[in-house]
């Protein structure tokens, strides 16, 4: 992680939860790297928006505004904010895994594993964690994202990440926990719940399971067919990023790792397109995800140089090619706005002990970042129903 200085704090977290090889972690970006970043942003060569193009979420005027904000961004204050969240590193299966670990005052409180997707990192989910002081909340960085290294060898598959995340919770001392995932970690969360029902007390879902084509055909439900037909119709105009990351990841990563303006554009376009905001107003993103959080995401990607490794789930993972066993543990499914018409029969077919099914009135792809207070209330209520929250 060139240009960064990990700071190892005096507090020994391993002392509290068994040895487990845990190493307390904090992060400071080199002054030289920040100077270089500001210099590159000041020399950015920006282009006008293409005329007559299909809507692509991000216009060049807004990008120019964000570039200038990033150039003058008070990173040190944000760095201090990040350091307020206890963090640790642990080696699992040939990777060093990073997690923020916010512990409840009650040592017997239940635990919640929170996992991000792409293009976000753990920091977008910290607001949720802070709103759940009565839970032990572990906000993990997936292998190859932020401060988690990729695996030293072998492919980064969903099955492998699921076992790594389960291993993280065991190493932190949690024999039983609730799991939550978004985007590329949604299947991972499903896999953890399906493979480790004795350890998973329940699962919270905002990206509900997509069954295989064969299973959809077996269900023979017009609501199911309509939902997937809608997604298929939108795919040609919305999946260009995924096709590139699946087929030519190193080529685009070389450009993004060298140009902070390019990196910012690549990240922010998806934040705009997938958040629950009006499609014709890119600045509306900041109603859901503040500019400070947007620029923190960009700085983490830039300083850790992890844009290339963040693509690995796209070109190495099986992406749900194999059917995931049905989840038998209690489930709470909250349908985010971009999948507003997800059929309830699909949820009931896969989550066999479905306790909650709700269509969110607010909150898109990044649900816990966009509406953290509402999601914290829902998660707390679900955990109360499970009867595992300490009184």
Cα 298 from Cα 294, distance rounded (Å): 6
pLDDT at 11 over 60: no
- Residue 4's pLDDT band, with cuts at 50, 70 and 90, is low
pLDDT tens for each residue of 66-98: 999 999 999 999 999 999 999 999 999 999 999
Report pLDDT for 384.
Answer: 86
Alpha-carbon distance 193 to 229, whole Å?
Answer: 28
DSSP-derived secondary structure for 52-77: TPPP-S--HHHHHHHHHHHHT--HHH
Q: Tell me what pLDDT residue 57 has.
A: 77
Nearest to 271 by CA among 76, 386, 94, 124: 124
Q: How confident is the model at residue 290, as a pLDDT?
A: 97
- Measured from the Cβ of residue 17, the count of other Cβ atoms closer than 10 Å reads 17
**pLDDT over 90, % of the chain:** 75
Asked if 150 and 175 count as a contact pair (C-beta separation under 8 A), the reply is no
Return mean pLDDT, the chain.
90
Give the pLDDT band (50/70/90) at residue 5.
very low
Question: Rounded to an integer, what distance in angstroms lies between the CA atom of residue 203 and that of residue 210?
Answer: 16
pLDDT at 15 (0 to 100) = 37
pLDDT at residue 140 greater than cutoff 70: yes
Instruction: State the residue for tokens 């997938």.
Output: 274
Q: Residue 6: what pLDDT?
A: 44
Residues 6+ apart with CB under 8 A from 263: 256, 257, 298, 301, 302, 307
Residue found under tokens 């269900």: 219
Max mean pLDDT among 1-10, 278-287, 313-322 falls in 278-287
What percent of the chain lies above the pLDDT cut of 70?
92
CB 116 within 8 A of CB 143: no
| Residues 127-152: b if buried by 16+ CB within 10 A, e if exposed | bbbebbebbbbbbbbbbbbbbbbbbe
Give dist(CA 136, CA 190) in Å, integer: 20
Domain made up of 4-386: CATH architecture: 3-Layer(aba) Sandwich (3.40)
Cβ pair 100, 342 in contact under 8 A: no
Q: Is a pLDDT exceeding 90 seen at residue 122?
A: yes
DSSP assigned state of 152: S
pTM, two decimals, is: 0.92
Q: Which residue has the higher pLDDT, 50 or 361?
A: 361
| 365 CA to centre of own chain | 10
Segment 202-247, tens digit of pLDDT:
999 999 999 888 888 888 889 998 999 998 888 777 778 888 888 8
| Average pLDDT value for residue range 48-57 | 73
């Amino acid at each position: 992680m060139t240009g960064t200085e990990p700071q190892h704090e005096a507090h020994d977290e391993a002392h509290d939860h068994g040895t487990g090889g845990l190493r307390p972690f904090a992060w400071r970006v080199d002054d030289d790297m920040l100077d270089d970043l500001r210099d590159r942003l000041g020399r950015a060569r920006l282009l006008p928006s293409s005329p007559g193009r299909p809507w692509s979420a991000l216009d060049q005027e807004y990008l120019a505004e964000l570039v200038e904000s990033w150039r003058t961004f008070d990173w040190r204050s944000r760095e201090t904010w990040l350091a307020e969240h206890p963090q640790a590193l642990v080696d699992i299966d040939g990777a060093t895994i990073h997690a923020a670990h916010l512990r409840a005052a009650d040592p017997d409180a239940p635990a919640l594993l929170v996992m991000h997707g792409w293009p976000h990192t753990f920091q977008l989910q910290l607001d949720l964690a802070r709103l759940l002081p009565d839970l032990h909340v572990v906000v993990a960085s997936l292998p190859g994202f932020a401060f988690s290294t990729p695996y030293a060898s072998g492919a980064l598959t969903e099955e492998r990440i699921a076992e790594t995340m389960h291993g993280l919770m065991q190493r932190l001392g949690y024999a039983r926990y609730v799991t939550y995932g978004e985007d590329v970690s949604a299947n991972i969360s499903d896999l953890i719940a399906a493979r480790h029902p004795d350890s998973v007390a329940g699962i919270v879902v905002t990206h509900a399971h997509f069954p295989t084509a064969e299973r959809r055909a077996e269900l023979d439900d017009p609501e199911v067919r309509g939902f997937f037909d809608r997604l298929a119709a939108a795919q040609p105009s919305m999946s260009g990023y995924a096709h590139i990351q699946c087929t030519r990841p190193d080529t685009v990563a070389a450009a993004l790792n060298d140009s902070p303006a390019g990196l910012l554009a690549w990240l922010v376009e998806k934040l705009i397109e997938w958040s629950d905001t009006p499609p014709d107003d890119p600045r509306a993103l900041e109603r859901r995800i503040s500019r400070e959080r947007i620029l923190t995401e960009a700085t983490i990607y830039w300083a850790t140089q992890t844009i290339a490794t963040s693509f690995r789930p796209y070109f190495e993972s099986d992406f749900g090619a194999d059917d995931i066993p049905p989840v038998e543990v209690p489930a709470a499914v909250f349908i985010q706005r971009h999948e507003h018409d997800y059929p309830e029969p699909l949820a009931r077919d896969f989550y066999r002990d479905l306790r909650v099914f709700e269509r969110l009135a607010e909150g898109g792809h990044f649900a816990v970042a966009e509406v953290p207070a509402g999601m914290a209330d829902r998660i707390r209520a679900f955990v109360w129903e499970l009867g595992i929250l300490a009184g």
